[in-house]
Each structure stands twice: as structure tokens, then as C-alpha cells.
Amino acid sequence: MIFNSVVFLIFLPIAFAIYWLLGKKSLKVQNIYLLIISYFFYGCWDWRFLFLIAASSLIDYYVAIGIKNAQSKLLKKRFVAISLAMNLGLLGFFKYFNFFADSLVDLFNVVGFQADYVTLNIILPVGISFYTFQTLSYTLDVYKEKIEPSDSMIQFFAYVSFFPQLVAGPIERATNLLPQFQKKREFSYDKAADGMRQMLWGFFKKVVVADNCAVFVDQAFNDPSLSSSGELFVAMIFFAFQLYGDFAGYSDIAIGSARLFGFDLKQNFAFPYFARDIAEFYRRWHMSLTNWFKDYVYFPLGGSRVGLDKKIRNVFIIYLISGFWHGANWTFIMWGFLNALYYVPLMLFKRNRRNLEIVAANSFFPSLREGYAILETFIITCFIRVFFRANTIEDAFIYIQRIFSFEGSSFGNLDKVSIAVISFMLLVEWFNRTKLHGLAIENKPLVVRWGAYVSIFLMILFFGKASDSFIYFQF
């Protein structure tokens, strides 16, 4: 079941109505109901996936209790090792087995040994990269004594499987989300209304911005030889907005849906295309994953509190792991490597913590310096993302080579609708860049609010396109 489907639009209001009717009874009833509808939501993809998420939840539930009750540091570490082995083992098998097998065969062939094998027909469970990180962070936080282990299996299972953010995040920490399952939720009109606003904006970004851009992007990347250099450059730019509209749109819908049920999820995107350098960009892009790697990988490696050589090592480790997390393909590893190359000079010159405040905080327009920095950051990240989008590294280099070949500058096939809706999205988000989401206009006059709602709804109705998935479902 995907957010931009008729089935979800039927499921959500029914689930919402029953939830608040049952919610008058008790906290336990609320949590049991959320667990049931979350498993139903996830099972709509493939009922077999339910065994994996249940097994992951069950093991980490008891591992956390084991960590708490362990009498020695060594025993606590052994319980953590069980959680690491189980979570990373499942993720590694389902997501990376064929990648490693293919790479091993290629290596044998390079050195002169003829190797062959039968590839397993492994189905990648939707959302496994997200919920394994979520349960893993829970056991690590219990080990670090940041949170007490849950004493309710129902609460913990509901936390892991909570349907709005189950399949594509945000990756929620137990320190934020689990306590919300431990107290009874009361309906709040203001929270629900804001959730609806954020969902509306998320649907606009997904079905209007992302899915319109996808048509032009797919044509260019599937066969770059059919497009001019100018069209390939525009397709590269469009892909940035397709990816943002698709993933940030999903996050908006997820966070908004959660608010309908009385939950507050963490912000996952903070208008990253207004960033002035790569460090600021990744503080604002997929924030839940960035912070996960920072807290559970970067800091344990020593972070920036080590020598220069280890600082550089840590940056490359983080970005390479991030690339590998995104998919079992060398293109993602190259994407991570290029991001690290882009980031290291900022760190060496101690400029990676320079842009911590909101851009143009005291004025409507950015300064010339800020405007140039935003444009430079955006263009460089777009070029790096050619590797993120391409099927192979060779395809990515061919694509970039054709851009700089300047073979034709025609824009005859350019989608003017995409340009218009991208411009509208950027304008709205620039106005609200200090807010938690682009449509946080609750303090505006009534006529302004409803004018915006109706306009966005009509754009969804007339310019929205049907898509059967979100890009990050494959991760």
C-alpha cells in the first residue's frame, strides 16, 4: 500500500476514525489497534515480510532486556553483538548477497579464474533498511543507558512497525518515538490540522513535482544519445527535484499522517536546496539517516576529536557506508566517495560548521554571496547525483561526458509544467524556510490559507501523475 494510491486514501480516514473511537478506552487498546493496522499496511506488499519484521522486533525486545539485566560489561556487549549480527545479517543477506556474489565472480574472472554461480531469487523486503536501523538504534541506546528497555511487547512492536514511517522513514529513535507509545494520546485538532497541511504539501511534491520530472529524467538517463547536451543538463537538474519531491514528499506525508494519530515524528528535510555548502546540505537532507550515522558510526570512530588523518578517514567511512546503505551497486559507493571528496576541503579549512543559521535570516532575499553559494552547492550535488541515478559507473561517465560535449543545445522536449511546479515549490518553501514544513501557514489569514489549499489541491488534480512507487522504497 503506497501513500499516493486510492487504497491508502480509503484506508487512512477509516483507520483514523476507528482509532479515536477506540482511543477513548485505554492506552493498550490504542497500541494494539496501531499494531494491527501497521501490520496490515506492511502486509499489503507481501505478507511474508511480516515474519521478518516480527522476528527483528522480537529479538531486539529481548536483547534490550538482556542488556539491562546483564551483570557485567562483557555480557552486555555480547547481547549487543547478537542485535548487530541479527539486524545487519538480515540486511546483508536480503540486500547485498547477490551484489557480493557478483563482485566475487567478477574478481575471479579478472585474475584468470572462470567462476560461475546461480544467483538467488531474493526479494528485497520493503523498508528493511529503515526498520533494521530503528531497532538497532534501540538496543544501542539501551546499552548506552540513554533509554530504559520497554516492558511492553505490544508497545515495542507498535513502535517498530508504526505504519506512517515504516517503509521509508524518518528513521525514528526510541528516545523520541517509544515514549509516545507509553502514554495515552488525546485528540488535538491543531495537531491534526497541521498534519493535514503537511500531507497536502507532501502529495504536491510527490505527484506533481517528482512524478512530472520523472518523465523527462527517465527518457534522458535511459538513453542519453537521444537527448542534446542541454536536455541532459536539465534532466540532471530535474532529477534533483524528482528525488527531493519524491522522498521529502514521502516524509511530509508520513509525518503528517503520524500527527493525525497524535504522534510527533522528527523533521527529515529542512529545505536542503537552500544550503550554502555540502556540510549544511547534509545537515538538512535525510536528517534522520545523517544523524544516525553521526551518532552510531562517526562519533564512535572518534568524530573530529582525532588527528587529521583519522578525521579524513572518518569522513570517507561515513560517506562510503551511506552510499552502500542506499543500494547494492558500485554507483552508490562512487556517489558516497565523491561526496566525501567534496566535504573534506571544508573540514580541512574548518568551514564545515560555518553555515548553521537559516539563510537570509533577517531579509527576504539572500545576499549575492549566499545566492552564489546556494547555486554552487546545488549544481555540484546535481553532478554527483548522476552516479546515484545511473545504472552503472560507466553510464554515469558517459552521461557527464555528453553534457560537456555540447552536442546540441536544443530544449525542444523540455517539460514546461515541471519548470512551473518546481518554481512554485521553491517559492513556497523559501517563504516558509524557518518553519517545519512548506505549508506551515496556520497563522495566515483565512482567505490566504484556503486559497493555498484549494490551489494546491487543483494542481494535484490537474497536473498530478500516477506512480506506483517511491524511489526510496528500493533502499
Q: Which residues are catalytic?
A: 326
Distance (Å, whole) CA 347 – CA 368: 24
Amino acid at 122: I
Instruction: Find all residues with CB under 8 Å of 42, minimum gap 6, and list them.
Output: 49, 50, 53, 126, 127, 161, 163, 166, 167
DSSP string for 34-79: HHHHHHHHHHTT-TTHHHHHHHHHHHHHHHHHHHHH-SSHHHHHHH
Check if the beta carbon of residue 267 is closer than 8 Å to that of residue 436: yes
Question: ∠468-473-341 over CA atoms, to 5°?
Answer: 130
Maximum distance among all Cα pairs of the chain, rounded to whole angstroms: 73
Nearest to 390 by CA among 241, 223, 211: 223
Question: ∠440-259-133 over CA atoms, to 5°?
Answer: 110
Instruction: Find all residues with CB under 8 Å of 438, minimum gap 6, and list them.
Output: 201, 205, 252, 271, 425, 428, 429, 432
Distance (Å, whole) CA 200 – CA 267: 16
Distance (Å, whole) CA 223 – CA 226: 6
Distance (Å, whole) CA 76 – CA 80: 6
Which secondary-structure segment (H or E) carries 282?
helix 278-284
Instruction: Find all residues with CB under 8 Å of 292, minimum gap 6, and list them.
Output: 133, 137, 171
CA distance readout (Å), 366 to 284, 373, 374, 441: 18, 10, 9, 22
Distance (Å, whole) CA 388 – CA 391: 8
Amino acid at 400: I
Residue for grid cell 569522513: 315
Nearest to 267 by CA among 438, 131, 127, 421: 438
Distance (Å, whole) CA 141 – CA 154: 19
Distance (Å, whole) CA 156 – CA 371: 46
Residue for grid cell 553483538: 81
Instruction: Give Rg (Cα) of the chain.
Output: 23
Nearest to 385 by CA among 304, 270, 285: 285
Length of the chain, in residues: 475
